[in-house]
Structure formats: structure tokens, C-alpha cells
Structure 1
Amino acid sequence: MTSTQIDFHTTIVILTAFSILWILWGWYLGKGSKSHDEFVLAGRNVGFALATATAMATWVTSNTTLVAPQLTFQFGVWGMLGYSMAALGLILFAPLANKIKQLLPTGYTSGDFIFTRYGKAAWIAFLIISLCYALGWLISLGMAGGILLSSLSPVSYHTGMTVIIFVCVAYTLLGGLRAVIATDFAQTIIIISGVVYIAYACINQAGFENVYQDVQQHQPELLNLLFPAAIMFFFNNIFFGIGEIFHSNVWWSRAFAFKQGVGKKSFLVSGLLWFPIPIVTGFIALSAYSLGIFPESPDMVGPLVAANVLGASGAILVFIIIFSALASSMDSLLAATADLISNDVYKNTLMKNASSQQTMAFNKAMIILLGVITWLICLPKLATLGALLNFTGAFVASTIWPIIYGLYGKSLSGRGAFIAMVMGTITGLICYFQIGFYTAALSSCFISLLVCQYFMRFKPIMFEWHSQCGK
């Protein structure tokens, strides 16, 4: 054990305390969820403060606290700024949230919209994309828990990964979306306070001038604003972030759960608050050279720098911050993905006459199943977090234009939306493997746009919502 690691006893105490805290809170909050609607949408009555906190905390994931430093370490200034552009997803979703609530006042999932607007074929393609993305994000979160513990304590990767998955499954299962949103509020406060403090400590110890000189000496291309791969990553990440939020049922479920008129304000504010966090965590990574830290894996640079600056107490603080960030994202993803399966596949397709209690029971079973699948896939560490997460960019970016044109336009057909999502995803995957992970979302979004434009210009339809709303 190094001097910057948490000792085994302290690690177990923190893990146990946080696990018990979140699980008991989830149980307490879930006591009032007696119906499927209350369990998955918190009664559709979430106010501004909790709405903003849950959007903010869910988007501050392991990716923000671990991958943002990794990408800054790899791409420099563009990596830092490029990751912060993911805030555009939250900001641009703000007007969409109100539109979603208006068009589908009794809707449950993003799949409800796709099926109503585009039909079964597009819905199947969208569902596959959503599940691939959700699984990729869940795996990255599970891996991050293992990486966190193994880099900051004597506890193994497998133990950390197992604990974070178990805890999130447990309190999501007990409390549903109400527990997810309430815990997100507390986790937001922990995350913001901790990140600001660590950044201050890094600046105070390393100094801006020393950081600049050491980066220039060891990796001068990180300061090069004409670094080609980094520029490509910058634009790729914009569309990746927008695609993640626009398509994911994590955000659609919140649009349905928030009070009327709250969605637009809460998503806008949460996006503005989130924007500087990757810049702050990115600077922490650039401090590595000044502190003589050269991590074996780039996705470990953030925790190692913070632990080095603050010692054992810093390792504890980093652990608490990232544990909170992991939990705030994994619980949201578990709940939203289980909702998508239980509503779209079980309730609307397989068991159309299922009662509220039957649907809620199936939903809980899906939460457990998703947790088990994630744990099994996480057993071998597959790749770095950045590479794994950006693999899903090929999928999600293909949905941006079908969703926008579906919400605000009438001429895109179901066939056009289907082909746009399929062709965009295939192109993105080809570019991911043949060129680099930083091209997947960009190419997927571009091809999807071309297909949508072709169908709207040459094979348009005239869709009317009317009685379709709430279907």
C-alpha cells in the first residue's frame, strides 16, 4: 500500500457506511411507491430543485470524474473543452422536455414516442440502440467502481465493481425513481464541493505556470490547438453528448416525471452548472506531469493526482466523490432502462392487460437482471473507460435527427427514421474501428442527417399527432 492509498480498514468502513446509507434511504423513500406510475415516474410531480439536482448529478458520472481527466491527459486543451461540450446535451434538451410533456402528457418512455411517431420497425431499431447504449454505460460505471477502489486502496478491482453494482441495484429496487432523484440531490452537493476543493489544492501545490511548463516539456502537443485528433474529438463529443441525452430514457423519464413547466428550466440550469466541471477535472489531469505522476492507464490519472496532492485524506475524498458520481448515474440508468423494457416490451407488447402491480414487479426483476448482466460483463476489464464509452457514440448519435424531426416536424416517415438510425449506427461503428473512437458519433450523426433529409425531401409524409398523444 502506498502513502496515498486508503488503508484496508478505512476502505471497508467507508464502503459499509455509504452502502447502508443509500440502501436505507432508498427503502424509506420507496415506501410511498404503491403503483407502477409512482415507482417509475415519482408521481409526475418532481419540483425544480430536485429536478435540477437529478439532471446535474446523473450527468456527473464516472465519465466526468474519471474519463474527462483521461481525455485531457490524452488530448490536452481540446480534450478538456471537448468534454465540457457535453453540457450542450442538457441545455438543448431543455426545450425538448417541454415539447415531450406537451405531446405525450401520459407517456412513460422514449420508446413510447418512437413507436407512436414512427411505427414498429423504427421502434425496434431504437430499442436495440437504447439497450446497447445502456449496457455500455452500465459496464463503464461498474468498471469505474473497480478502477477507483483498486487505485486508491488495497481492495481489488472485482470487489469495488461488485459493491457499486450491488448498492445501486439495491436502493433503486427499493425506492424507484423517487429514491434515485432524492439521492441525486445529496450526491450533487458532495460532487461539486469535492471537485472544487481538489482543483484548488492542485492549483495551490502545482501552480498554473509550472503545469504549463511541464506539459510543454513532456507532451507539447497537448497545448497545440491544431492537434488534428483532438479537434476531431472536440466535435465528435458534441454530437455524442447530444445523442446520449436526446435518445436516452434516463432523460425522457425525467421529462415525464417533472412538474409541468419545470423541465425546461431544470435542464437549462443543470447544463450551465455542469459545463465547468470537466474543465476543472481536466486541469487536475494536466497537473500530473508537475507532480511526477505517469499512470499505467490514463483513466487512473484523476484519482492518482488528487490522492498525491492531498495524501490519504485526498484518497478518501476522491473515493467519496466518485462513489457518489457512480451511484448517481448507475441508479438512474438502471431505473430508466428497466422502465423501457417493462413498459415497451412487457406492458405494450407481451402482456397488454398486465396490471400496475404486475408491471412494477416485472420492472423490479429487470433492475436485478440488468445488475447481474453488468456484473458478469465487468468481470474481465474490457478496455479503458473512454474507449468503451465512445463505442456507444456510434449508436446514440444516429437518433438525434429522427428525434428532432419527430418532435418538431411532420414529414419524416417511419421508414426514413429506421434507415437513418441503422445506417448511421453502421457507419459510426465502421469509423470507430477503422479510424478512431473520436469519429464514431460524428460520422453516425452526419449519415443519419443525410438519410433524414433525403426522405423528407423526396418521400415526405404528413404526420398529425391529434389523437396519437399519450398512446
Structure 2
Amino acid sequence: MTDFMLGRETALVILVLFGLAWVGWGWYLGRNNRTIEDYALAGRSVGFAMATATAMATWITSNTTLVAPQLTYQFGVWGMLGYSMAALGLILFAPLAQRIRQLLPNGFTSGDFIYQRYGRFAWAMFIIISLCYAFGWLVSLGMAGGLLLSSLSDLSYLTGMTAILVICVGYTLLGGLKAVIATDFVQSIVIITGVVIVAWVCIDTVGFDTMHTTLTREQPELLNLLFPAAIMFFFNNIFFGIGEIFHSNVWWSRAFAFGPGIGKKSYLTAGLLWLPIPVVTGFIALAASSLNLVPPSADMVGPMVAAKLLGSIGAVFIFVIVFSALASSMDSLLAATSDLLTQDIVKKLFVPDASSDTLLRANRYIVIGLGIGTWCIAAFKLATLGALLNFTGAFVASTIWPIVFGLYQPKLTGRWAGLAMVAGTTCGLIGYFAIGFYVAAIISCGVSLVCCRIGIMQSKDYFQWHELEEKG
């Protein structure tokens, strides 16, 4: 065990303190939840500061703290810049959030919109895509927790993965969206402060000149702005990030939960604040060669470099930062996915006249079930974080145009919207396996756009927007 790794006892103490603090706070915040609307949407009255913090913290996840360094380590400059472009998802969703709240003032989920706008076929395709993405993201977050512990301490991957799931399931179960948003607010402050400190220490300790000289000698391709695969990744990640946010109930549920007029301002602000963070977290991976570090897995490079720079105390510091980032995303995903399953599966398909109490109980059972299911899949660690996340790019990018046209273009019908999602996902997956993960989202988005445009050109029907307001 190297001198910058956490001891077993220290790591366990941090886990216990984290668990007690977050779960206890979750119970406190959720003690007055009485209805499914209180639990799932925090009473639809979240203010600007909390709204901005939860949007930004949720998007600072294993992608930003572990996968951004991984892809910088693999693709160099384009890796960090490519991840920073995911900020466009938050920024472009800002006007959509306002439109969503106007059209469905009493909506609960993204599935509500798809069902009412397009009908059952497109809704079924959308739910399948949403659940595939949600489980992929949940599993990647569980894996990231395990990787974090195993790279910073001698605790096992399974211990770290189990700990983050138990903690996040615990406070999400007890507090609902109120607990998720409140903890995100604190976690966003911790994350931003920590990232800035680590970057400053990296620059001060290693220096730009040393890093550039070492990379030029040992890994010149990482500085090559004409690196073909990296350029493709850059553009692929733009569509991947937009598709992730546009379709996911994580972001739709917040559009419904934020107070009137808050959504557009908070998403725009969160996107601008988030933009430089992947550049900073990715940047430290470029110091690996200068520090003579060779990570056993590319997705462990970030915490290993940071711990090397900051020593044993730094390992604790990095542990807290990355664990906060993972928790801020996992809790949001647990809450949003359980809402989707409760409202779109339990209520729409099985118990259409369910009471608020029944839905509240179902929601909580589903949170537990999601935690157990994620643990069972993440325990096998079937792929790296980057590979797992980018696999879902083919799914989510196919939903971009059906959602955009669904909100603004009255001529697109449910049949063509559903076909666009199926064809886009299928072609994106073919590209993923035949060419590489860095083209899956581009292909998926392009095919979906073609299908939507054909559907709009041949359609003679016009959807009446007031139907959404009346049903919502």
C-alpha cells in the first residue's frame, strides 16, 4: 500500500460519518412529507439558489470527477473539452424547462409529456430508453463508488459500491426530493471548492512546463488537436450530453418542482457554472506521466493523481469531493427513476385510480428495489465507467428531436416520434459496436432527426397545445 492511500480505519470512519450525516438529514427534511407531490416534487416551490445548486451538483457526477480524467488520459485535450461541452445540455434545456412548466403545470414526469403528446407507442419506446439509461447511470455511479474506495484505500470495490448505494438509498427513501435538493446544495459547495484546490496544487506542484515536456516526450498524441478519434468523441459528447438531459426525468422532475419562472434561469446559470469543471478535473489527469503514475484502470487516474499530489490528508479530501459528486447524482437519479416507475408504470398501467398514500408507498418500495437491482449489476463490474456510460449514448440521443419537436412542432405524430427513437437507437448501437463508442450518439441523433423531419413533412395533423394543459 502506497503512502498516499487511506487506511482501512480512516476510510470506514469517513463512510460511517457520511452515512449518518446524510441519512439523518434526509429524515429531518422529509419528516413533513405528506403527499406524493411533497415527496416527489418538493411541493413545486424550489427557489433559485437551491434550483441552480441541485442542477449543477447533479451534473457533477462520476462523468465529471472520474470519467473526465479517464478520457483526458486517453484522448488528451479533446477529452477534457469534450466533457465540458456537456454543459450545453443544461444551457439548452433552460428554455425547454420553461416551456414544459407552461404546457404541463401539474405534470410529474417526462413520461407524462410523451404519453399525452404522442400516445402509447412512442411512450412505450421512451420508457424503455429511459429505464435503460437510468440503470446504466445508476450502475456506473455504484461502480464509481467502489473504484473510489479501492483506489484510495485498501477497502474492496464491493465495500465502496455497497456504501454509496446504502447511504443514497437511505436519505432518498426518507426525505424524497427535498432531501435530494438540500444535500445537493451542500455537495455542490464542497465539490467546487475541492476541485479548485486540487487544480491549484497540481499547477503549483507539477507546473505547465513539466507536464508539457513530459507529454511531448511520452504521450504526444494527447496534445494532438488532430487526433481523429478524439475529435469524434468531442462532437459525440455534445449530442450525448444534450440527449441525457433532454430525455431524463431527473431534469424534467426539477422543471416541475422549481417555482414558477425559476427553471429557465436556474438551468442557464447551472450550465455556465458547470462548464469549466470537466476541464479542471480532466486537466489533472495530464499530470499522471509527470508523477510516474500508471493507474491499473484508466477510470482511476483522477483520484490517484489527486491523492499523490495532496498526500494522506489529500486522500481524505479527494474521497469527500468525489463521494459528494457521486451522491449528488445517485440520489437525484434514484428519486427521478422511482417517480417515473411510480407514475408511468404503477399508476398508468396497474392502478390508475391509486391514492396519494398508495403512490407514496409504491415510490418508496421502488427506491429500495432500484438500490438492490443496481447493487446486483454493479457487483460484476462488466465494463469501465466510460464504456458503460457511452453505451447509453445511442439510446438517449434518439430522444432529442422527438422531445424538441414535441414541445414546439405540432405536426409530428406519435408513430413517427416512436419510429425515430427506435431507428435512432438501433443505428446508434450498430455504430457503437462497428465503429466505436465515440460515434454512437452522433449516428443516433442524425437518424432520429431524419425520421422526425419525414414525419413532419408527410403529416396533415396539428396537435393542439391546450390538450396538454387540460390533461396536465
* TM-score higher than 0.5: yes
Alpha-carbon distance between aligned partners in 1 of 2:348 and 2:465, rounded to the nearest angstrom: 19
Secondary structure of 1:467's counterpart equals helix
Alpha-carbon distance between aligned partners in 2 of 1:381 and 1:24, rounded to the nearest angstrom: 30
| 1:401 aligned partner, one-letter code | W
Partner of residue 9, structure 1: 9
| 2:138 aligned partner, one-letter code | L
Alpha-carbon distance between aligned partners in 1 of 2:458 and 2:4, rounded to the nearest angstrom: 63
Secondary structure of 2:260's counterpart equals coil
Partner of residue 363, structure 1: 363
Distance apart, 1:466 and its partner CA: 1.3
Partner of residue 121, structure 2: 121
Please tell me whether the aligned partners of residues 83 and 234 of structure 1 are also in contact (alpha carbons under 8 angstroms).
Answer: yes
| 1:349 aligned partner, one-letter code | L
Partner of residue 93, structure 2: 93
Contiguous gaps of at least 5 residues in structure 1: none
Q: Does the alignment pair 1:456 with 2:456?
A: yes
Distance apart, 1:468 and its partner CA: 3.0
Distance apart, 1:417 and its partner CA: 0.2
Partner of residue 28, structure 1: 28
Please tell me whether the aligned partners of residues 416 and 455 of structure 1 are also in contact (alpha carbons under 8 angstroms).
Answer: yes
Secondary structure of 2:368's counterpart equals helix
Contiguous gaps of at least 5 residues in structure 2: none
Partner of residue 287, structure 1: 287
| 2:30 aligned partner, one-letter code | G
Sort the Cα spacing of 1:423 and 1:460 in 2 relative to 1 into closer, same or farther, 3 A.
Answer: farther
Distance apart, 1:377 and its partner CA: 0.3
Partner of residue 349, structure 2: 349
Alpha-carbon distance between aligned partners in 2 of 1:219 and 1:385, rounded to the nearest angstrom: 22
Q: Deviations over 1:111-141 (max 9, x none)?
A: 0000011000000000000000000000000
Alpha-carbon distance between aligned partners in 2 of 1:142 and 1:259, rounded to the nearest angstrom: 31
Alpha-carbon distance between aligned partners in 1 of 2:436 and 2:445, rounded to the nearest angstrom: 16
Sort the Cα spacing of 1:460 and 1:239 in 2 relative to 1 into closer, same or farther, 3 A.
Answer: farther
Alpha-carbon distance between aligned partners in 2 of 1:460 and 1:137, rounded to the nearest angstrom: 39
Alpha-carbon distance between aligned partners in 1 of 2:280 and 2:468, rounded to the nearest angstrom: 45
Partner of residue 434, structure 1: 434
Alpha-carbon distance between aligned partners in 1 of 2:36 and 2:187, rounded to the nearest angstrom: 25
| 2:256 aligned partner, one-letter code | F
Which 4+ residue blocks in structure 1 deviate beyond 4 angstroms?
A: none
Q: Deviations over 1:73-102 (max 9, x none)?
A: 111111110000000000000000000000
Distance apart, 1:352 and its partner CA: 0.9
Partner of residue 330, structure 1: 330
Partner of residue 217, structure 1: 217
Alpha-carbon distance between aligned partners in 2 of 1:101 and 1:459, rounded to the nearest angstrom: 27
Distance apart, 1:460 and its partner CA: 4.3
Alpha-carbon distance between aligned partners in 2 of 1:30 and 1:71, rounded to the nearest angstrom: 38
| 2:373 aligned partner, one-letter code | I
Partner of residue 375, structure 1: 375
| 2:414 aligned partner, one-letter code | G
| 2:42 aligned partner, one-letter code | A
Please tell me whether the aligned partners of residues 103 and 465 of structure 1 are also in contact (alpha carbons under 8 angstroms).
Answer: yes
Partner of residue 276, structure 1: 276
Distance apart, 1:467 and its partner CA: 3.2
Distance apart, 1:394 and its partner CA: 0.4
Sort the Cα spacing of 1:436 and 1:460 in 2 relative to 1 into closer, same or farther, 3 A.
Answer: farther
| 2:215 aligned partner, one-letter code | V
Distance apart, 1:42 and its partner CA: 0.1
Partner of residue 44, structure 2: 44
- Map 1:4-403 onto structure 2 (within 5 A): 4-403=4-403
Q: Deviations over 1:249-285 (max 9, x none)?
A: 0000000000000000000000000000000011100
Alpha-carbon distance between aligned partners in 2 of 1:115 and 1:381, rounded to the nearest angstrom: 35
Alpha-carbon distance between aligned partners in 1 of 2:461 and 2:467, rounded to the nearest angstrom: 17
Secondary structure of 1:354's counterpart equals coil
Moved more, 226-235 or 346-355: 346-355
| 1:292 aligned partner, one-letter code | N
Alpha-carbon distance between aligned partners in 2 of 1:2 and 1:289, rounded to the nearest angstrom: 17
Moved more, 285-294 or 415-424: 285-294
Alpha-carbon distance between aligned partners in 2 of 1:212 and 1:410, rounded to the nearest angstrom: 53
Alpha-carbon distance between aligned partners in 2 of 1:283 and 1:468, rounded to the nearest angstrom: 45
Alpha-carbon distance between aligned partners in 2 of 1:314 and 1:382, rounded to the nearest angstrom: 30
Please tell me whether the aligned partners of residues 141 and 326 of structure 1 are also in contact (alpha carbons under 8 angstroms).
Answer: yes
Q: Deviations over 1:364-394 (max 9, x none)?
A: 1110011000000011111110000000000
Alpha-carbon distance between aligned partners in 1 of 2:468 and 2:325, rounded to the nearest angstrom: 38
Alpha-carbon distance between aligned partners in 1 of 2:461 and 2:60, rounded to the nearest angstrom: 40
How many pairs are equivalent? 471
Q: Deviations over 1:203-230 (max 9, x none)?
A: 0011011111111111111111111000
Secondary structure of 1:397's counterpart equals helix
Alpha-carbon distance between aligned partners in 2 of 1:109 and 1:165, rounded to the nearest angstrom: 23
Distance apart, 1:459 and its partner CA: 2.9
Q: Deviations over 1:48-90 (max 9, x none)?
A: 0000000000000011000000000111111110000000000
| 1:206 aligned partner, one-letter code | V
Please tell me whether the aligned partners of residues 412 and 460 of structure 1 are also in contact (alpha carbons under 8 angstroms).
Answer: no
RMSD over aligned Cα, in angstroms? 0.7
Please tell me whether the aligned partners of residues 413 and 460 of structure 1 are also in contact (alpha carbons under 8 angstroms).
Answer: no
Moved more, 117-126 or 286-295: 286-295
| 2:447 aligned partner, one-letter code | I
Please tell me whether the aligned partners of residues 195 and 280 of structure 1 are also in contact (alpha carbons under 8 angstroms).
Answer: yes
Secondary structure of 2:226's counterpart equals coil
Q: Deviations over 1:442-462 (max 9, x none)?
A: 100000000001111123421
Alpha-carbon distance between aligned partners in 2 of 1:399 and 1:224, rounded to the nearest angstrom: 33
Distance apart, 1:358 and its partner CA: 0.2
Alpha-carbon distance between aligned partners in 2 of 1:384 and 1:152, rounded to the nearest angstrom: 18
